[in-house]
Amino acid sequence: MPMMRIPTLPTAVLLVALLAGCGKELPKLAPPPLEVSTITVQARDVDISAEYVAQTQSSQAVNIQARVSGFLDKRVYTEGSVVKAGQVLFRMDPKPFQAQLDAANAAMQRNQAALQVATANLNRTKPLAAKNALSQKDLDDAQGQYEQAAAAVAQSKAQVDSAQLDLSYTVISSPITGISSYAAVADGTYLSPQNSQLTTVSKLSPMWVNFSLSENDFQRIQNDIRAGRLRLPPGGDMTVQIVNPDGSVFPYTGKITFADPSYNAQTGTFLIRATVDNPKGVLRPNQYVRARLKGAVRPNAILVPQRAVQQGAKGHFAWVINKAGLAEQRPVEVGDWYGDGWFVSQGLVIGDQLVVDGGQRLAAAAPVVVVQSDGKPTAAGAASAPAAAGSAKPRP
């Protein structure tokens, strides 16, 4: 029979201590406070802008067409070049029109000779008729011949003028200064009303910039204005800044000069046109750019960094530190983006200590330790510097 091993004294004491502690709960250790960074919520007037996809359009695009029928002799301009007002673009064969002008001049000379004869005859008939040496019928015949000859001369002058115009139309010039397009008709082609289109010249300065505003955006802007959340410049005189496709800003700004009074039935938008100077011809017609509207102000706006706002099942929320130094969750109503900031219309009040970093680990009534606080208004914190060059964007 094996002998039972008797535990030593230290082991027995440890077993007794463990058995005695099995019926008691160990005290729970409080979690350490979480480290967060905060900013102080403040309100201020914020200059905002809005960007829209836009397309350039020449403020004056002229179709160059042949005004008479005939053969095209030569194109005398370089396709795609900038042409001046009055510069010759095409020349037509002038010989048929010169022949018509010569014939009209000859007819006018014949009629002028007939008018001289009729005038002399009338001058002789009038004194004789006054002395009853000739009858009244003779006087009437002389008067009628004179008037017929005068009318023929007037008709001949009109024909001469028409022939001179037709001859001048054989030299086709540009009526404006602008960028020329390709030649639609080759040299030697017979031009008629069916193929009279020769090319197009588009004026480069000023340039039109067209963009569209949706009905929803327009209604939202009107609601913000009525609610006092948005203030436009006096007379709605917005400044339009052109942003090139590469992100660079066009050096000249423009103004809104036209707004279509009716909506497009297919797209639900209406057209807005801005006019901008383009003296160097950098902008070309039908180019896609972005139109940035500046001049509007959000008065007393609360602007917070986007990372300070989170989204849950019930909507957007943010964390603030209450007076007891504990985390408190606040539901917020957000508006537009602005740079890396977000406008908050409801949920935050001036003076709140808003958690910017570290909010993902927080829970309600959790103790926190503020490791970084700017002590400045919200707009002067993390959201302010990039927002100065940002643009208002619709909420996703």
Express each pLDDT in 276-318 by its tens digit. Answer: 999 999 999 999 999 999 999 999 999 999 999 999 888 999 9
The yes/no answer on whether domain 67-91+171-202 falls in CATH 3.30.70.3400 is no
Q: What is the pLDDT of residue 113?
A: 95
The CATH number corresponding to 50-59+204-298 among 3.40.50.12780, 2.170.120.12, 3.40.50.10880, 2.40.30.170 equals 2.40.30.170
Average pLDDT over residues 100-125: 94
Of the pLDDT bands very low, low, confident and very high (cuts 50, 70, 90), residue 101 is: very high
Residues 83, 176: Cα–Cα separation, whole Å: 8
pLDDT in tens, 324-344: 888 999 999 988 888 788 889
Q: What is the pLDDT of residue 12?
A: 45
Whether residue 381 is predicted with pLDDT greater than 70 in this model: the reply is no
Own/partner contacts of 30-33, CB < 8 Å, gap of 24 or more, are: 31/366, 31/367, 33/366, 33/367, 33/368, 33/369
**CB–CB of 37/368 below 8 Å?**
no
pLDDT in tens, 60-82: 999 999 999 999 999 999 999 99
CATH architecture group of domain 34-45+301-393: Beta Barrel (2.40)
Q: What is the pLDDT of residue 172?
A: 96
**CB–CB of 373/353 below 8 Å?**
yes
Average pLDDT over residues 151-159: 96
The larger pLDDT score, comparing residue 396 to residue 363, is at 363
For the CA atoms of the chain, what is the radius of gyration?
44
What are the structural domain ranges in the chain? 34-45+301-393, 50-59+204-298, 67-91+171-202, 94-169
Joined tokens for residue 31: 């979690």
Answer whether the bond into residue 175 is a cis peptide, omega within 30°. no
**CB–CB of 302/352 below 8 Å?**
no
CATH class of domain segment(s) 94-169: mainly alpha
Of the pLDDT bands very low, low, confident and very high (cuts 50, 70, 90), residue 30 is: low
Alpha-helical runs (H) found in the chain: 9-21, 95-130, 136-168, 215-227, 384-387
Nearest Cα to Cα of residue 356 among 35, 34, 38, 41: 38
Mean pLDDT of the chain: 86
3-state secondary structure of 388: coil
**CB–CB of 204/179 below 8 Å?**
yes
Whether residue 390 is predicted with pLDDT greater than 50 in this model: the reply is no
Residues 338, 49: Cα–Cα separation, whole Å: 9
